[in-house]
Amino acid sequence: MSKAINAAVLGVILFLLAYCVCFWFGVMPKFYPMLGQVHIIPPPGNPIAVKFVGSALVGLVAGFVGFLVGLRLPLRSSTALHTLAWLAMIAACIYLIGRETAEYILG
């Protein structure tokens, strides 16, 4: 395994974790580029697209940081990172499908 693959795997892990945590708590970043400010607020009402976009933006930033950290990890961490990535993907999938099913199909 190369360090780039380890970096990508760690980026995916942090992306999934950040995305799910933001989606769970309904937190989204609201950017004010003209003011140079970022505010973290819960979205008003229940606009599902806003939650997806805000959660995805936070996840992408976390994934990029994870990628940069992963480039610095030794090569011997490959097996542990790949195991952790699969666990994170399965947990995120179960969480997101379960939450959407409970909220929009059963609720």
Spatial distance between the Cα atoms of 24 and 104, rounded to a whole number of angstroms? 15
pLDDT digit string (tens) for 24-67?
A: 776 666 655 555 555 555 545 555 555 566 677 778 888 888 88
pLDDT at residue number 43: 47
Three-state DSSP class for residue 35: coil
> What is the residue type of 88?
A
Spatial distance between the Cα atoms of 53 and 43, rounded to a whole number of angstroms? 11
Report the 10 Å Cβ neighbour count for 13. Answer: 23
Residue 22 has pLDDT above 80, yes or no: no
pLDDT digit string (tens) for 73-106?
A: 888 888 888 888 888 888 888 888 887 787 777 7
Per the prediction, the chain carries an average pLDDT of 75
Retrieve residue 40's tokens: 């973290």
pLDDT at residue number 1: 55
pLDDT at residue number 14: 86
Could you give the angle at the alpha carbon of 81 between the alpha carbons of 91 and 60, nearest 5°? 65
Report the 10 Å Cβ neighbour count for 90. Answer: 11
Of 77, 67, 61, the residue nearest 10 (C-alpha): 67
Write down the H helix ranges in the chain.
3-25, 48-70, 78-100
